Every structure is written in structure tokens, then in C-alpha cells.
Structure 1
Amino acid sequence: MHNVAITGTGVFTPDQVITNDELVVAFNAYADQWNAENAMAIESGEAEAKAHSSTDFIVAASGIERRYVLDKEGVLDPKRMFPRLAPRDDEAPGYMAEIGVDAANKALAQAGVAAEDIDLVICAASNMERAYPAIGVEIQELLGAGGFAFDMNVACSSATFGIQTAADMIRSGSIRRALVINPEICSAHLEWRDRDCHFIFGDVATAAVLERDDDLSGDRFSILSTRCATQFSNNIRNNNGYLRRTQDRMEDRRDMQFMQNGRKVFKEVLPLVSQHIAEHMDDTGITAGDLKRLWLHQANKTMNDYIGKKVLGRNPEAGEQPNILQDYANTSSAGSMIAFSKYSDDLADGDKGIICSFGAGYSVGSVIVERRA
């Protein structure tokens, strides 16, 4: 059995930003428009008027202040409320492959690894642009990587599940190096017209290089242990399956976009994740006092604060549990990897931390790492 380390990470960030104020203006204009068009049904009691959103409501509910997206104009159009991602020719790189390659190249550069020396590419994300051919294989081709590639979907836990999958292959000796890439175009499966969730998601891509850690030197994060778990639940669901490729909406069915029962998710996921991390730490011989950093899934600040307190047995101190939620919003599987990529350089040799993601499924994955320098 071989040891495994994360030797490089990369983040692609879109250049378009939507602030809460901009989003609220667009949503409220849409709500006013809808209420006017359905005034008679609202007056007769057949329909319920759509309430306005507000910046205060969004921040209180989530901690989100802004989000990056691939297309701002379509989302902020009150008559559309959906990104314009025009279909591309089959010979052109797909959207997910394009942003995934950007993140992958940054990770490869940090690791000092050439693309042709990669043996495995996993495209792990919450929603795929198409059914086939696999986005992972397209990324492999664009990078000039070796070996093989495939796609993986475990919703918001896709990154940690992908890391365990790649790590297990490296441990067994079947491969030496892998790229786990998380291109998340969440704006394309969010229902921007639903006040309860219209603020949640943003777009981004992350990547991580994993290598056999038998003779490595220099800065890296040795993977001490990985663990994944699932438990079926309908409380977070999307019946559409793939990103919509047309300029206009398909069937106007609410269940075809992101849906969640937030209260049930909050009540059921928090103990599930806290217990998962506690048992993983206990089985690995790690105590709360050993941890210098928690890189948690970036879905909701209140959820993360609760989990951090449960894991550490106290309120996390400044820097112990970094949040990127306020700037990136929820980026599904990429969230914990953004936090890890941006807030890990300051750790010293021997410092330990946990990367953890959780979400629809329910699913939860945790990776215990130790800094080597």
C-alpha cells in the first residue's frame, strides 16, 4: 500500500459578480411582474402573491453577500431569470471542460506535475453538462493527460468522494497520480425565481492533484484517512438531470430545478455530518486538539458554525474554520476545496485538518490531512 498526498490545488473564478443588492432588484421586479400578470388569481385566492426578497433576508438566511456566475445578464433579466449559456458546436470545448481545464492547469503548476504524467482524471460535480461522452474524458483530451478519465456525481460531496476514489487507486498501486476536478455551473440548475433559494448558488471550478507520497519532498498535504457515507433523502432534489442547453426554458416545472426542504435539511444533516466527522476522527486517532483547520462545505454559515462547535467542542476561533461563502455563495462540491486552496498555506509541518463536504443524497465525505513541508 502506498501513501497519498495532495500536492497542488487550483481555482477558476468567473469574472462576473452578482451582489445581493443586484439580485434583489431583479427578483423583486420579477415578483412585481408576476403578481401583476396573475392579479385576478391572487385576488380570488387561487394563487399566492410572490413576496419581495431583501439583502437583509439573504444575509440572515445564508451569510452570502455575492456570487460569481458565468452569465450575469440572463440571471438579472426579470423576464428570464436564467443564465444564457448558448449551445456550442460539438467540436468546441464544453463549458464544464473549459473551466475545469483552467483550474486543473493551476493545480498542475502548483504541484510541478506535467499533464501527461497524470494517470486518472475524475470530473466530480453536482450536475453534468451532458450524459456522454464524459466531461472527464474531454478534460483529459484538452489537457493532454494520460491514463483514463470518468465522471462522478455525488452532489455537494462529489469532491471528497472523488478524492477518496483517486486516493484508493493510488494506495492500491494501480495509478501514481490523479486530478480530481470540480466544475460547478450551479447557476444553470438554480431556480432564480424562488425567493427561498434564489440567492444560494454561484459558479466556479476547483482541481486537486493527488500523488503517491512514498518519496515526495516539499510542501504537500499527506492524506491520513478518507471516509464517505450516504443516506437516501428527497429533501434536496433536482429532476432535470443535466444542464439546460437551450436559450429558453424547457417545461416550466418547478421540480426540474434545484429544490430543497431547508428546515428538514438543517435538522437532519447537521447531526449526520457531526457524527460522521467525530467517528472518523476517533477511528483515525485524531482528537479535537490535534486539528488546526476545518475546511467545510460552504452551504450555510449557521450550519458550519454548528458543525465546527460540535467537532471542536467549542466555538471555532478566527481562522480555524474559514468561510468563503460570503464571496462565492454555495458552489456545491467545490466549496470546501476553495476554502482548502485559499486557506492552507499558513499551516506548519505536522498541522492537521479536515476537508468535509455534505449535501444531497444525503451524502458526506471527509478527508483528514497533515501538512508536510
Structure 2
Amino acid sequence: MIRAVLTGTGSALPVRRVSNAELAEQVDTSDEWIVERTGIRFRHIAGPDETTATLARDAASAAIAAAGLTPTDIDLIVLATATPDNTFPATATKVQAMLGIGDCVAFDVAAVCSGFLYAVQVADSMIRAGAHRRALVIGAETFSRLLDWQDRTTCVLFGDGAGAIVLEARDSAEDVADPAARGILATRLHADGRHNELLFVDGGPSTTGTVGKLRMKGREVFRHAVVNLAAVMEEALAAAGLPTEAVDWVVPHQANARILDATARKLSLPSEKVVMTVDQHANTSAASVPLALDQAVRDGRIRPGQIVVLEAMGGGFTWGAAVLRV
């Protein structure tokens, strides 16, 4: 048996930080309206020279350094994004080149806000299969390029950023047999394409030949999110053989503070165990979980040996959770 162990985290944000008050000068909204409904106070917006790939590169560099590695130690890159630099090639290959990594496996995963969880399971599976030893898993987005800045119901919700982790193989008999050993303990993923129309982008190469703009029916998304996230977290914990009480931290997708609060209540989890960064970053889609994870690791909240649950839900719908001992 082989376990994939988290050995480094990193994140990156665009230089420009936009407050609710600044947004209110451009669209019919207010700081009070946004905070009351979402908990969001700030978001970062990419400038002309900042792209999904450059943000991913910076987050990846920080994660590699935190793991005590060099870029050439990496033999697998899985990058989750809904906003690639180009239709092709994969943004992962651009990051590979930027980091100076030679021959390795590099590809993108598209599952919107759940993309990072999908990427984690893919990398975990490839490490467990013995195909790779050190994986760079990235969530990176420039969602500001998909927003309709006249639609106050969506443009206030999203921001840009990137987060990354390094997963390394551990395969000594002693490590694997120890129930307290570090590593990814369980992952669970789901999708239900019947709900495409509730959260989508109204463009694409094969349909309109345009990038399109994000469209969302917020009430319906909220209802599905609370039910699905609570269920998949319980499912992942059961697969790991752990009760809810064993969880030290939940690092959720940072979509809306009300969704995070409702999900925690449904699981009887105290709010003190939930890492929340949505007030500072807004919804950064596939980047939100690794961004929040990196912040909690670096400020000392998440410590070695603790049980952490990652969870997210996004357009599709797609949703998933991962349980790990850090």
C-alpha cells in the first residue's frame, strides 16, 4: 500500500484588491447588501499581466518550497480550472514550462468549484498506483474574465486566485500500517448533470465560439449545496472510518458564508472548526479550497497530525470531499 501525503501548500492572489464599496461605484449594490447575503467583503481581480497560469505558477512555487523540494522533483501536475489561459494546450503544461520542469505528466481537470477535489483524487489515485512519487495539485482561476459586470447577483460573488499542494508517496510498511500515519484517508466525488442550467457559462468553443458569461440561479444552488456538501462529507468520513467528532478542521469551498454556516449546522460542527476566507477572497472557484488550506496552514491553525476535511460543490453539479491527516 502507498499513501499520498501532503507535504507543502502555497497560494497566490492578484495584486488588485477590490472592496464592496468600490464595486458599489460600478454596479447597483452596497457593502451592506453583499455582506448580509454572502459574507464577502473583498475579492482580488487579476490585472492584464496576471493569468490563471501565472497565479498557478506562483502558488505552485510556494507549495514546492514549503515541501522542501525543487521543481524538478515533481513528476505529476494536475491543475483544476474553469478559466484556462487557452482552450488548449492545458494550462498545467504552461505552468510546467514556467517552473522549468522537463518531462512529467501534466494536464487540466474541469469540474468548476469542485475541480480541486477532483484533481486531488486523480493525483492520489496515480500515486497509490505507483505511477508517480511527487504530485503538484493546483486550483487556479481568473473568474473575473467570465463575469457580467452589470449583473449584481453574480459579479459581487467571485474573485481570482490560486492555491496548490504537494502530495508525496509514502510506502514504508511502518507508515502505512500506522492508523495515525499522515496522508489522504478517503475521497468521494459526485456529479449530476441534470442541473447544468442552474450554474453555467453561456458560451464555449463548440457552441457559440465565445468565452461567454457566468449565469446562476442562486436560490436553487444554495439549496443543493447544503444538502450535497453535508452528505458527501459524511460519506467521506465513513469511508475513512472516522466520526464527525474526530474532525479538527473543515476547509470548505468558499462560496457563501451562509452556505458554510448551514452546512456546519447540518453536521453539528462548531463554527470554530470551519476555515473561512470568503470574506477576504470571495468565491475563487477551484482555487478556493487550496487558498483557504494554505492560509490555515501558514497561520498555524492546521497542524501536523490533525484530521482535515476538504469539500466543495460547483457547476454541473459536481461535488466532493477528501479526508486527510496532515
Deviation at 1:206, TM superposition (A): 1.0
Shift of 1:241: 3.5
Paired letter, 1:104? A
Q: CA deviation at 1:272?
A: 1.5
Instruction: Answer whether contact 1:269 1:362 (CA < 8 A) is retained.
Output: no
Corresponding position: 1:66 with 2:22: no
Please point out which of 236, 239, 252 is paired with 1:296: 252
Aligned-CA RMSD value: 2.0
SS of alignment partner, residue 320 of structure 2 = strand
Unaligned residue ranges in structure 2 (runs of 5+)? 176-180
Quote the residue 2:82 is aligned against: 126
Contact 2:251 2:310 in 1 (8 A): yes
SS in 2 for 1:323: coil
The code of the aligned residue for 2:25 comes to V
Residues 1:171 and 2:132 aligned together: no
Query: Which residue matches 1:38?
Result: none
> What pairs with 1:1-373 in structure 2 (closer than 5 Å)?
1-27=1-27, 52-71=28-47, 85=48, 95-145=51-101, 146-214=103-171, 222-232=183-193, 233=195, 234-241=197-204, 256-311=212-267, 313-314=268-269, 316-318=270-272, 320-344=273-297, 345-371=300-326
**Residues of 2 paired with 1:335 and 1:95: CA distance?**
16
Output the CA distance in 2 between the equivalents of 1:144 and 1:120.
13
Say if 1:125 and 1:184, in contact at 8 Å, map to a contact too: yes
More displaced 10-residue stretch of structure 1: 325-334 or 189-198? 189-198
Q: Structure 2: how far apart are the matches of 1:144 and 1:266? A: 41
Tell me the secondary structure at the aligned position of residue 201 of structure 1: coil
In the superposition, the TM-score normalised over structure 1's length comes to 0.79
User: Cα deviations across residues 175-204 of structure 1 (Å, max 9, x unaligned)?
Assistant: 111111222101101111102112011111
Partner secondary structure for residue 353 of structure 1: strand
Q: Which amino acid aligns with 2:99?
A: L
| Residues 184, 203 of structure 1: 8 Å contact kept | yes
CA contact (8 A) 1:10 1:103 kept: yes
Counterpart code for 2:202: N
Deviation at 1:256, TM superposition (A): 2.4
TM-score, normalization by structure 2: 0.90
C-alpha distance in 2, partners of 1:292/1:214? 25
**Tell me, what secondary structure is at the counterpart of 1:197?**
helix
AA partner of residue 128 (structure 2): R
Residue pair 2:80, 2:140 contacting (<8 A) in 1 also: yes
SS at match of 1:59: helix
TM-aligned CA distance change 1:185 to 1:370, over 3 Å: same
Q: Offset of 1:61 from its aligned partner? A: 1.3
Task: Kindly provide the amino acid, as one letter, of the partner of residue 169 in structure 2.
Answer: R
Gap change, CA 1:310 and 1:157, over 3 Å in 2: same
- Which structure has the larger Rg over C-alpha atoms? 1
Q: Which segment is superposed worse, 96-105 or 321-330?
A: 96-105
**1:144 offset after TM fit, Å?**
2.1
- Once residues 347 and 184 of structure 1 are traced to their aligned partners in structure 2, the CA distance between those partners, rounded to angstroms, is 24
Q: Which runs of 5+ in 1 are unaligned?
A: 28-51, 72-84, 87-93, 243-249
94-103 or 11-20, larger mean C-alpha shift: 94-103
Cα distance in 2 for partners of 1:132, 1:301 equals 34
Kept after mapping to 1: 8 A contact 2:236/2:322? no
| Equivalent-residue separation in structure 2 for 1:348 and 1:121 (angstroms) | 25
Q: Judge conservation of contact 1:7–1:221 (CA < 8 Å) in 2.
A: no
**Residue type of the partner of 2:8?**
G
Distance (whole Å) between structure 1 residues aligned to residue 304 and residue 9 of structure 2: 18
Question: Tell me, what secondary structure is at the counterpart of 1:333?
Answer: helix
Quote the sequence identity (%). 30
